Chains A and B, each alone.
Chain A
Amino acid sequence: MSAGALGKRAPRRVEHVIGARWRILALLTIAALLAGAVWARLAYWQVLRHVQLSAQAQSQYHELIELPAVRGAIFDRNMTQLVVNTTVYSAFVSPDQVAARDRERVATGLSSVLGVDKAAMMQKLESGSKFAYVLRRFPKAKADQLRALKLPGVGLEDETQRSYLPGIAAGSSLAANMLGFVTYDGQGQRGLEQYYQKELAGTPGYISSYRDLANREIILGTHTHQDPINGSNLVLSVDANVQYQAEQALADGVKKANAESGSVLIMDPATGGIIAWADYPSYDANNFNHTDPSLFADNVSSYLYEPGSVMKVVTLSGAMNQGAITPDTVINDPGVLSVGGYRIYDWDHRNHGNINYTYVLAHSLNVGAMKAMLAEGHAACYSYLKGFGLTQPSGIDVAGETSVPLPPQDQMSDSQYATTSFGQGIGVNMIQMLAAVNVVANGGKYAPPHVVERVGTTINPLLLKPQRQVITGATAQQMTAMMENVVQHGSGWTSRVKGFELDQAGKTGTSQIPVNGQYTLDVWASFVGFLPAKHPKFTMIVVMRKPHYPGSNSDWTLNDGYLTAAPVWQKIAQAMVVDWRITPD
């Protein structure tokens, strides 16, 4: 029995030992698994998520403050500052920090100084929110008043703003369309502000430091400091006084002619520098956020129009330079010419008989212009259009220039050449047209139009490049004499400046506006000229869009350039003669 008992005990002990080992093994496995899980989790946080977590941690104690660069100023040719940086303020309130007993006082203070609605302010204060703007971008005087009140929960934030000089009326600033404006986030929009954004804005700097839990700077921390590079100043070829005179004369002219809009562009004949760039109607760049966006469009560079008879200057210059005609070449003008299957008339539908080209230009005869084009040939005509800069954008340094390229030479029909010779069927902007006529004023050389003379201390590279010779000096002189004749005996008589009757050159232009392929009675009226004729100090173009001159309902020729645009030209030229002390040769 005992042996049997012993015999039974032995396997039980073995089972017990084996069971204990299994349990230990199981426990070890579980412990290993648990430890593995902890280690795996640890590895996840410390290895896989390391970059993200360290970045989060750094963001809590590391601070990078941007040091804004001062935007460059803009000066005119006499170093009159056209744009100034000023500081404006925005008021904010933290309603949760304003005690109930103080709400009335805070609302009253804010409404009395900033003119905000008191009831709306009370509602804002009672909302208990953490932050709300009260008013954005008001002047320093109001900020000082508000500061003196020491209102609880109210704070001030300073911001930089571009301030532009006042224009001719309360709702406009000087040269707004040419200068453009700067948005609240510092981005230049339109005009020079947009074109020279990079140069004007500069490069902001920064300062980085560490902060403790109480948001205090740790003085001994590692600081990185980069000074901002302020924007460069621009010096323009513009004359602020002439600009003002141009804006004033233009506004009067547009109102008198009852036109839709008008523009003036004045250029230095020798350099191509723009002296004045005026649009009417215009806008106030200081108040751009409350301006009708349609007024931002700059009609000088972005409005395409058919130049009309002003183009005859280009056509006849090209033909004379080619040797195809001379000012005295006699042609027969029956008042109509058939070209490419089309019968094209002179403006007056009259037979003018035998006339010379001086007479053609003075009386703006389409048949004469077409005959000159035919005499020089299509290829030469096209190459002169190119030479005078009418087939490509002028490349002026103001944002927003628009142009329509001419079709290739071989794709232009006979009738297209014919209409182009007297300025119809070709779309140009004012800069292109003025630069083209300026070739005559500049002794036959093309002066690339530009507004900026200097960026910081660097001269505009355009000024250092040689100018391209388009026509000979002799041809330019002949054309000048013909254009003088326009003022003395032709359609330009309304532009005569006192004392310069024998010493100014000009050409009128009127072209009908096409709508859906049909010419309407609305016109673009223009006048271009330079003065003094032999040694010009300026070249100027005036364009009126859709003038409705008093009485033009019965006689629509009253809307012509000589009655609407030339008087504006004369008024501005008269002011320039006085301001610049110009004397006749």
Chain B
Amino acid sequence: MTSTRILTRRRLGATGAQHVPARRRRRTRGFVQVAGSVAADRLHLNSYGHAYLWFGAALIGILFYLALAAQVTQSSYDITRLQDQQRQLVAEQDQLRYQEVTLHAPAQVQQQAAQSGMQRAAPTAYVPAQQVAIDLQAPAGAAGTDATPLWERYLAALFNKVGGTRDVMAAGRH
């Protein structure tokens, strides 16, 4: 539900907007224009004076640009120099890391230990639970009883040597 008061307000609002006169935009003059005309009036500049004034302004602009460009160039040089420095520092860091890693390398440790007269100790502290019941100096197992006739063995060896047999050599030994 819409109250009559609201309807009235809406109507007034709508009609009010229609009847508002269009604003006329005031022409404003820029600061430079105003300052220029004031300066021209006070200085009584002729056309040459105007030309000099514009030339001077352009010169100042150019000088400002050159100063800015010089500053940018200087910054650019500084950035390049710092980047170069950073690269060198990174290289130095890499070098140091390699030196550090090399110091811990087994080869280096062994070399330094040898120079200090250190020797690798053999483990002698182990105490087995029971005595070793085998002869540690014993050679590989003894051969079993061989009942093959001697002539057969010699013949086999001979044939194997000259390659006249189809036998595969018993190469899979120990």
Contact = CB atoms under 8 A, between A and B. Distances in A.
B171 A424 contact: yes
Contacts of B107: 165-168, 174, 244
Interface stretch (B37-45, B51-59, B117-125): B117-125
A562 interface: yes
Contacts, number: 194
Contacts of A167: 107
Residue in B91, B130, B163 with the greatest tally of chain A CB atoms within 10 Å? B91
Interface string B108-149: 101000000000111110101010101010111101111110
Contacts of A336: 148, 156
Contacts of B124: 498
A418 B120 CA distance: 46
A349 B110 contact: no
A166 B108 contact: yes
Contact of B140 (A85, A353, A493): A493
Interface in B21-78: 72-73, 76
Contacts of A512: 169, 171
Contacts of A240: 105-106
B146 A489 contact: no
Contact of B168 (A245, A352, A363, A424): A424
B122 A574 contact: yes
B145 A493 contact: no
B81 interface: no
Nearest to A523: B171
A163 B171 CA distance: 44
B58 to A, nearest CB: 22
Contacts of B136: 493, 496, 501
Interface in A545-585: 557, 560-562, 574-575, 577-578, 583-584
A94 interface: no
Contacts of A194: none
A489 B134 contact: yes
Interface string A111-145: 00000000000000000000000000001100000
Contacts of A245: 106
A415 B174 contact: no
A345 B148 CA distance: 12
Interface string A226-249: 000000000000001101110000
A140 B95 contact: yes
Interface string A511-527: 11000001100010000
B128 A308 contact: no
A519 B146 contact: no
B101 interface: yes
A501 B134 contact: yes
- Interface size band for A: 35 or more
Given A140-B91, A423-B172, A496-B136, A217 B123 contact: no
A80 B87 CA distance: 26
Nearest to A241: B106
Nearest to B87: A158
B97 interface: yes
A352 B139 CA distance: 18
Contact of A578 (B92, B123, B156): B123
A158 B91 contact: yes
A245 to B, nearest CB: 8
Interface string A138-167: 011000000000000000001000010111
Contact of B128 (A348, A353, A523, A584): A584
Contacts of A347: 170-174
Nearest to A575: B120
A334 B140 CA distance: 20
Interface residues of B, number: 54
A333 B145 CA distance: 10
B153 interface: yes
Contacts of A493: 136, 138-140
Contacts of A518: 163
Contacts of A509: 172, 174
A183 B110 CA distance: 30
A309 B145 contact: no
A86 B94 contact: yes
Contacts of B153: 349
B90 interface: yes
Contacts of B132: 501-502
Contacts of B126: 498-500, 583-584
Contacts of A346: 170
B13 to A, nearest CB: 48
Contacts of A491: 140-141, 174
A219 B72 contact: yes
Contact of A351 (B121, B123, B145, B166): B145
A362 B92 CA distance: 59
Given A165-B105, A488-B134, A344 B170 contact: yes
B12 interface: no
B138 A85 contact: no
Contacts of B72: 219
A578 B144 contact: no
B174 A351 contact: no
Contact of B97 (A84, A174, A308, A496): A84
B172 A217 contact: no
Contact of B76 (A163, A217, A345): A217
A364 B174 contact: yes
B98 interface: yes
Given A490-B141, A561-B174, A86 B128 contact: no
A502 B110 CA distance: 31
Contacts of B174: 309, 347, 364, 491, 508-510, 560-562
A32 B97 CA distance: 77
Given A174-B105, A350-B144, A493-B138, 20 more contacts: A81-B97, A86-B98, A140-B91, A158-B87, A166-B105, A168-B107, A174-B106, A333-B144, A343-B168, A345-B167, A349-B156, A351-B147, A352-B145, A353-B145, A424-B172, A491-B140, A499-B123, A501-B128, A502-B130, A509-B172
Interface of B: 72-73, 76, 87, 90-92, 94-95, 97-98, 101-102, 104-108, 110, 120-124, 126, 128, 130, 132, 134, 136, 138-141, 143-148, 153, 156-157, 163, 165-174
15 contacts: A81-B101, A86-B91, A163-B98, A166-B107, A245-B106, A343-B166, A344-B170, A349-B170, A352-B144, A419-B172, A496-B136, A498-B126, A499-B126, A501-B128, A502-B128
Interface of A: 80-81, 84-87, 139-140, 158, 163, 165-168, 174, 216-217, 219, 240-241, 243-245, 308-309, 311-312, 333-336, 341-353, 355, 359, 362-364, 366, 369, 415, 418-419, 422-425, 488-491, 493, 496, 498-502, 508-512, 518-519, 523, 557, 560-562, 574-575, 577-578, 583-584
- Name the 3 nearest CB pairs between A and B, nearest first: A347-B173, A499-B126, A345-B170
